[in-house]
Structure 1
Amino acid sequence: MNVVILVGALLVLLFSAGWFISGASVLAEKMGIPPLLIGMIIIGFGTSSPELLVSVQAAMDNNAALAIGNAVGSNITNITLILGLTAVLAPIAVQSNIVRRELPFLLVATTVLFALGWDGLLSRVDAVILLSLFAVILGWAMVLARQTPDDALADDVTKELNEVTMSSKKAAVLVAVGLVLLTLSSRWLVSSAVQLATALGVSELMIGLTIVALGTSSPELAASVIAARKGEHDLALGNVLGSNLFNTLGAIGAAGLTRPLPVTETLVFRDMPVLLLVTLLLFPAAVGWRGPGSINRWEGALLLTGFAGYTGYLIFSNLS
């Protein structure tokens, strides 16, 4: 029954996140918000709404390992599985200067999370630091959206919005319904994941890093693969970078503000360094030292291999 509830919650999470993002994007466009800002905030951060709600719900239920593991595991999944699979299906050419500028911010955010968790506790003060950094990045995004309205990412978003015909009323309904279902499904997901971990005799961290992280990353997977297949490469990569920024600073920050979160040695010495490493691996591919950045099929295959190796290690180390 827990497996059925878990799978059902993940499916509801996927569809409700899609409705929420679609409705919010249309409403933002009708309100005159620049396409670049829609791409960076509404779409990039909107795909992380499942991680936010699941991590906050887990923190409220005093399941700290699940709260942090979900966000960290989702970030690793976003880079290795989602970008890897996307690049294998359609190599990602990076034209957007904004997307390239997001990478250093993501590296700084990941490093700050690593440093704050080093003492074994994410306190409320630490959470305020994460959320403050998130606010700074939001402000930076708003300034850039006004200074560089013709960025390649804005072109991708405009192309995507032009394909959608939706009234404001329908968009508002999708936002409302999506938010309600996201909230309910996150509760079902956390409850079933904790009970499943107990029944299987594995840690909540293991469940958070694998099953829950993969499920909450499904909106990013759908958005990036579809964008890349349409030739909207900057939107595909920008979606993942924006999502990871939100997970690191927004989701974990909000969860830590709800309740101080103990950080296990396993997270500090295994999972966070893996996240830092795969984030660093994006630089030579996405930034492009000798020309426009790109993630080709071979690099995508390497990322997929990293996902398989990391996930395999988690599974076998818990079974042994």
Structure 2
Amino acid sequence: MLDTIPPIALAAIAVLIGFGGLVWSADRFVAGSAAIAKSFGVAPLVIGLTIVSFGTSAPEVMVSISASLKDAGDLAIGNALGSNIANIGLVLGATLLIAAIPVQKHIFRHELPVLLLVTIISGALLYGGVLSPWEGWLLLALLPVLMLYLVRAKQKELSPAEIDQEQEDIPEMSRPRAILWFAIGLIALMISSEILVWGAKTTAEYFSVSPLIIGLTVIAVGTSLPELAASVMSALKGHHDIALGNIIGSNIFNLLAVMAVPGIISPPIMEAAVFNRDYMTMLGITLIITAAIAIVLLRKNSKGTTQLGKGTGFVLLGCYVAYYAYLFYTN
């Protein structure tokens, strides 16, 4: 029966199934991981700042591994850069249209400087057009170091109310059940990523589009769905202040882990547009949100408010739409 279905239709079905599987399995994987850590006595705040916060990047990691094993490292690179652009332009932009997001000083002191540092390092590595194994290992080695720094910094900065919000995301379950959901989530993540990458590669070949473009667009938006869902739901529930921190944390993880994978497994040779167009767009939109946060904090003295609002949301969404328009116009 499958022989009668056109290849492009099968690819589209595979992409949809892959996306759905990634979203479902990532949620179970993160819940199981967090519950296991809690059962072994790991501090809830540490779990919230690491496993739960970075857990929404699990789909990107699995897609990156699967793509790299299939010699589609450019798709993985596109996924990392495209997801970061989507996280700020689409996810944060859309969330700001729903509700204003308060900005805490610790984000400007700690998370944003780390994100800017990682972004600059990533740009230096991408500039040459090849991500070598040692460069991939360098990115991966920076992950635990910077995570430890952020955990220690935020332990000193967070208020009791913010600590309670971090702990709300940690599920209550027995250790055997947590291990079961961890295993189910991990296996489902692996299967879903395989299905998604196959569908994406088939779609790219059918339309004679490079895997890089598919990674920057279809895959990037799809793997950013967990961030979009988490941020929008947080805004609707009134937990506006955790959305910004989660997006920044996810972007740090994407550059240090997701982008490191193809360099380690199958070093890709990238076209110049990866740096000149895609990386520079990511850098630009990161600088825009940094400037917006700095302006909001500086205006607090006169206005008494430290919130990002709809104006910033429209700017971010506008940049995102402009990037997509340029991407498709030039390809």
Normalising by the residue count of structure 2, what TM-score does the alignment of the two structures yield? Answer: 0.89
8 Å CA contact retained: 1:117, 1:268: yes
Which of 179, 188, 201 is the equivalent residue of 1:172?
179
The CA distance in 2 between the partners of 1:247 and 1:174, in whole Å, is 24
8 Å CA contact retained: 2:106, 2:154: no
The CA distance in 1 between the partners of 2:50 and 2:107, in whole Å, is 12
SS at match of 2:194: helix
Which residue number corresponds to residue 319 of structure 2?
Answer: 306
Which residue number corresponds to residue 3 of structure 1?
Answer: 12
The CA distance in 1 between the partners of 2:168 and 2:202, in whole Å, is 44
The CA distance in 1 between the partners of 2:185 and 2:61, in whole Å, is 14
8 Å CA contact retained: 1:36, 1:145: no
What is the one-letter code of the residue matched to 2:75? L
Q: In structure 2, do the counterparts of structure 1 residues 279 and 151 end up closer, same or farther at CA, with 3 Å as the change threshold?
A: farther
Normalising by the residue count of structure 1, what TM-score does the alignment of the two structures yield? Answer: 0.92
Which residue number corresponds to residue 315 of structure 1?
Answer: 328
Which residue number corresponds to residue 258 of structure 1?
Answer: 265
8 Å CA contact retained: 1:285, 1:294: no
Which residue number corresponds to residue 27 of structure 2?
Answer: 18
8 Å CA contact retained: 1:65, 1:205: yes
8 Å CA contact retained: 1:66, 1:208: yes
> Deviations 1:224-274 (Å, cap 9, x if unpaired)?
111122222232111111111111011111221112221210111000000
Which of 199, 204, 210 is the equivalent residue of 2:211?
204
Q: In structure 2, do the counterparts of structure 1 residues 282 and 110 end up closer, same or farther at CA, with 3 Å as the change threshold?
A: same
Which residue number corresponds to residue 73 of structure 1?
Answer: 82
Which residue number corresponds to residue 213 of structure 1?
Answer: 220
8 Å CA contact retained: 1:197, 1:207: yes
Question: Residue 84 in 1 paired to residue 84 in 2?
Answer: no
Which of 277, 288, 299 is the equivalent residue of 2:284?
277
Q: In structure 2, do the counterparts of structure 1 residues 165 and 193 end up closer, same or farther at CA, with 3 Å as the change threshold?
A: same
**Alignment length, in residue pairs?**
316
The share of aligned pairs that are identical, in percent, is: 39
> How far is the alpha carbon of 1:204 from its aligned partner?
0.9
Question: What are the ranges of 5 or more consecutive residues in structure 1 without an aligned counterpart?
Answer: none
Which residue number corresponds to residue 297 of structure 1?
Answer: 310
> How far is the alpha carbon of 1:280 from its aligned partner?
0.8
Which residue number corresponds to residue 105 of structure 1?
Answer: 114
Question: Residue 181 in 1 paired to residue 194 in 2?
Answer: no
> Deviations 1:186-214 (Å, cap 9, x if unpaired)?
11111111111010111111110000001
Which of 240, 248, 266 is the equivalent residue of 1:241?
248
> How far is the alpha carbon of 1:279 from its aligned partner?
0.6
Which residue number corresponds to residue 129 of structure 1?
Answer: 138
Which of 30, 50, 54 is the equivalent residue of 1:41?
50
The CA distance in 2 between the partners of 1:152 and 1:286, in whole Å, is 22
8 Å CA contact retained: 1:152, 1:234: no
8 Å CA contact retained: 1:24, 1:42: yes
The CA distance in 2 between the partners of 1:223 and 1:100, in whole Å, is 24
RMSD: 1.9
**Higher Rg:** 2
**Larger mean Cα displacement after TM superposition, 62-71 or 229-238:** 229-238
**Larger mean Cα displacement after TM superposition, 301-310 or 207-216:** 301-310
8 Å CA contact retained: 1:13, 1:185: yes
The CA distance in 1 between the partners of 2:114 and 2:150, in whole Å, is 11
